[in-house]
Structure 1
């Protein structure tokens, strides 16, 4: 079973001040589950982490075109499944083959990552995405 979570937070436009708080919260939530977090803003490093078979990948407030061709290819291979369409929902999750993905548009304020409700939301999403919680 894969043993790490890749967190990617590159920005090519607006940068949310909450990225540091979000990365720290994810690391704190994943640690008791035996899931070390590998945080990067480099597309090449993301491609490498995805190629190692990570338990989950988190896109933490990225903006703009932040993936290079290698990272896109690695992400496609990791997720293996089409597009999400034109909708921009607040929160979604999706299972494609053995892969799982989760997206939340919440957490733009750094203070959100300290709130128990939002942390429970993140923990549940992290564990589901890593295949460690019920479907």
Structure 2
């Protein structure tokens, strides 16, 4: 049985939806044969503590969530063959760590007010998107990023139609979710997941499950 560590420390804005996200991941684990441990304690990021985990999830983390020993431990753990997944404000984490730049694929720049608009599936062949309709309506914080993750080889899975809301800055193909590989580490990131109700939505839960399957090598 796979074991997942969910980390949700945030020194900028702690999202109330973390509670719902942890609950959703634990319920998915019970349904799909993996276990979930959750923490906000940076001291967990030590080699001996990380050893049992097959993947690490940064769930709405923000700013400097690890100390130097924790960064070393996470990097070693991941480059030893374990996966990593980021959700929502994980792209606003560890701003001074260049290695994390490659791990996340693109850095958070900002977002407009929460709005409802259309998400488009850019790649329907991935487990995180195969269950989704080609276009679906969703309410979230629509993150703008400092760069396009495609520039570092990411495979974009979801985009948002900027013509349907105010405040998009990335133009056509605005990325929302993608997969990649960094130092041999399988990665998955989704910008969705701001609101608590997102984690009760079957489509979004399937999106998260597909991301986990990707970083677990399934």
> Is the structural similarity TM-score above 0.5?
yes
Question: 1:79·1:96 contact (CA, 8 Å) conserved in 2?
Answer: no
CA distance 1:99–1:17, shift in 2 (3 Å): same
1:53 positional shift: 4.4
CA distance 1:29–1:86, shift in 2 (3 Å): closer
1:31 positional shift: 2.2
More strand by percentage = 2
Distance (Å, rounded) in 2 between the aligned partners of 1:56 and 1:50: 13
The CA deviation string for residues 38-67 of structure 1, in whole angstroms up to 9 with x for no partner, is 101011113357631421110000111111
Do structure 1's residue 127 and structure 2's residue 209 form an aligned pair? no
Q: 1:8 maps to which residue? A: 7
More helix by percentage = 1
The CA deviation string for residues 77-112 of structure 1, in whole angstroms up to 9 with x for no partner, is 1233x4425554522222346532212111000000
Specify every segment of 5 or more residues in structure 2 that has no aligned partner in the other structure, as ranges: 80-98, 108-144, 146-174
Q: Which runs of 4+ in 1 moved over 6 A?
A: none
Question: 1:6·1:49 contact (CA, 8 Å) conserved in 2?
Answer: no
Distance (Å, rounded) in 2 between the aligned partners of 1:130 and 1:50: 19
Q: 1:77 maps to which residue? A: 76
Give the match's secondary structure for 1:4. Answer: strand
Distance (Å, rounded) in 1 between the aligned partners of 2:11 and 2:182: 28
Task: Map 1:58-69; keep pairs closer than 5 Å.
Answer: 58-69=57-68
Distance (Å, rounded) in 2 between the aligned partners of 1:128 and 1:49: 24
Specify every segment of 5 or more residues in structure 1 that has no aligned partner in the other structure, as ranges: none
Q: 2:189 maps to which residue? A: 103
1:33 positional shift: 2.7
Give the match's secondary structure for 1:36. Answer: strand
Give the match's secondary structure for 1:65. Answer: coil
Normalised to the residue count of structure 2, the TM-score between the two structures is 0.54
CA distance 1:105–1:14, shift in 2 (3 Å): same
Give the match's secondary structure for 2:46. Answer: helix
Q: 1:117 maps to which residue? A: 203
Structure 1 or 2, whichever has the larger Rg, is 2
Question: 1:5·1:36 contact (CA, 8 Å) conserved in 2?
Answer: yes
